[in-house]
A and B are shown apart, each in its own frame.
Chain A
């Protein structure tokens, strides 16, 4: 695994033969930076054998140009001034390798993201590009031949989150023969999708398409399903993560419970008394309950905050008597498991916006203001009202208004579009009308129906008489100004198509609440060491070229934890994440940057100053020699020890002191 070359003593360096290439990137760079001038300037610098500017360096002919020049002019160092090295370094390294040159003899100059795209003044941009080019040319002469480090990848995957994204990804991986551990923090998998009635635009039943997948997860021999569990620690790195999972006690022996619910019937609470999470609080459950009929696993759970026995120790424990399988275990303790996996797929989903943050819409104040999720449960035949749309007092609503963009597209709350609410609301409009015969009005800023069959669905709603009023609703009030408004909720809105403010009396209001990142997304981000956007959505490596890859190798994103999306997009992304993980695991190894630190044993005095600085314990002391040495397999290449070695005896491949000093000198020496 450790290539001997990386530790070979520095050979005597002949004067390097540097090739310099500056990319126009079409007009992306050339519009702002005088590329011909950069090439001309580079050609004048010591060691530069040739300098060219070219329209697209990353194109096949661009790469071929480098390869030809390497062969023809015996170039042994290459500098490419183009886009960010994070984008195309591997492209150009591969070109060097094809021409028989060690790929690490490359240095890139970022004159697109860091110059042409952020500056308008052509003269200043060209001067900056020139400085950066000079720095790279001075740096590259200190480059050394290196070999990438190969890290083996374990063939097990962890999927974090058991919504539709996690379920789909887990099934794909399991089908491909990989062992999968699916961790879900709720007592059942299914996520938000399990709470939905029908799905747009086809109006097929969510449960009908989701339940078989949930059962497949339960049944699949390659999937270990841990519900009611949370990841509390992730250590290690791509190919070899050690994940610590905490399994909360559900006070039920999962292996024994068959979900017969006799314990639920027998509970000392005769009726449900506590808000039922699955029904969005519209119904009540007992302290012992099955989360929902299709819950997977089909295992009940005891709520320790509600159960009399767990809270007070004083209860007749009728549930225990009722269970003929003796599955109830009141002294169950949390379990902590450590598992080793090669890849991790994060599919932790989203939270819904809390509409009490917008008091003008009256949620929580007026009983007949609902959220879309509540409405979803009302129209569901297994919901709290068995599919009958009812107001809180049991009346049937005659008129229903749905308000869009509640907590979306609003700089006071969330600036983003939640992407599903338009379609979701139109679907609900049709369902409410079907279930209650009510008139439904949708208040919108505009209808966003981009998606296969979505615009057609909007047309159908228009045809079927759903009312659309364009205007952001100012207020929902029960203050009647006319007799007609008496006893109704009144929506005050500027109808921007009609051009005046309207007051519309309605029986029921549904707020289309948007999506927001999970409340604890930032904590999870830290556990996983991945990045988050400002808002809290997990950050993909590149929005287009790496939409499911994170900045941490071996961790992939699926579903709404990365940003709002609907079910088709979520499933597609989960497939993509599974494919990425699979590609890694099937290959069996990953090649990593050889940017590890190393210690010259002739220079080290054994002062141990570096030892406490390494978070990976990669630096060890050879007691017999009294010298420190670095275990390359453990070193992650941060360079903290290099900067700290008081005698300058630690160096870092790809970031040697002399390379950085050459770069500093290069950016500062006057042209």
Chain B
């Protein structure tokens, strides 16, 4: 059941050491921000498998936010560089597949930058709101309406 009034849904992948901690700090500091983000904690932004991002979009996210440590600060030396390189290619791919690059955002937010976290989340929610819903699950359903027979479930792992 979709929301009665559309609200942007953003899935966030935050690294344990910097951005997740910054989100905790924003909490401790009672910084108010838009409630549209759902945070998933990983140890490092380098763990963000591009599959996670595509899966989130395919499952109904309107945007995906990835938060890691600033260059030079990665708890695992260079995990954030790995993320950075992947994201540059993924953005090209998403663009080719008709997804606005703004929907997938990579930000470096240090453990002390609770206010930056607030700012980034609010700004991203505003931008996604301006772009409108992506709503891939419904789009996939509408694609399948051209099939004359009811389709079998086709989600899940290949093979």
Contacts and interface: CB of A to CB of B under 8 A. Distances in A.
Interface of A: 84-87, 110, 112-115, 117-121, 124-125, 127-128, 131-132, 135, 525-526, 529, 531-534, 539, 551-552, 595, 613, 615, 636-640, 642-644, 652, 655, 657, 660-661, 663-665, 667-671
Contacts of B18: 531
B13 to A, nearest CB: 8
Contacts of A124: 35
A486 B158 CA distance: 90
A117 B27 contact: yes
A639 B24 contact: no
Given A551-B17, A668-B11, A638 B35 contact: no
Contacts of A120: 32
B30 interface: yes
Contact of B2 (A84, A652, A670): A670
Given A551-B21, A638-B75, A664-B11, A119 B32 contact: yes
B35 to A, nearest CB: 4
B55 A661 contact: yes
A667 B52 CA distance: 13
A532 B17 CA distance: 12
Contacts of A665: 55, 59
A110 B16 CA distance: 13
Given A637-B43, A664-B52, A125 B35 contact: yes
Given A638-B47, A657-B49, A85 B41 contact: yes
B65 to A, nearest CB: 12
Interface residues of B, number: 53
B59 A669 contact: yes
Interface in B2-31: 2-3, 9, 11, 16-18, 20-21, 23-24, 26-28, 30-31
Given A638-B43, A643-B49, A663-B40, 9 more contacts: A110-B24, A110-B39, A531-B73, A552-B75, A615-B76, A638-B44, A643-B86, A664-B40, A668-B9
B40 A114 contact: no
A670 B110 CA distance: 32
Nearest to B48: A643
A132 B49 contact: no
30 contacts: A84-B27, A110-B24, A113-B24, A118-B30, A118-B32, A118-B33, A119-B33, A132-B38, A132-B39, A135-B40, A525-B73, A531-B18, A532-B110, A551-B17, A613-B82, A638-B44, A640-B44, A643-B47, A655-B43, A657-B49, A660-B40, A660-B52, A661-B52, A661-B55, A664-B11, A664-B56, A668-B9, A668-B38, A669-B59, A671-B1
Contacts of A655: 42-43, 47
A44 to B, nearest CB: 14
B60 interface: yes
Nearest to A525: B73
A279 B82 CA distance: 49
Given A551-B21, A615-B78, A640-B76, A117 B30 contact: yes
B38 A131 contact: yes
A639 B77 CA distance: 13
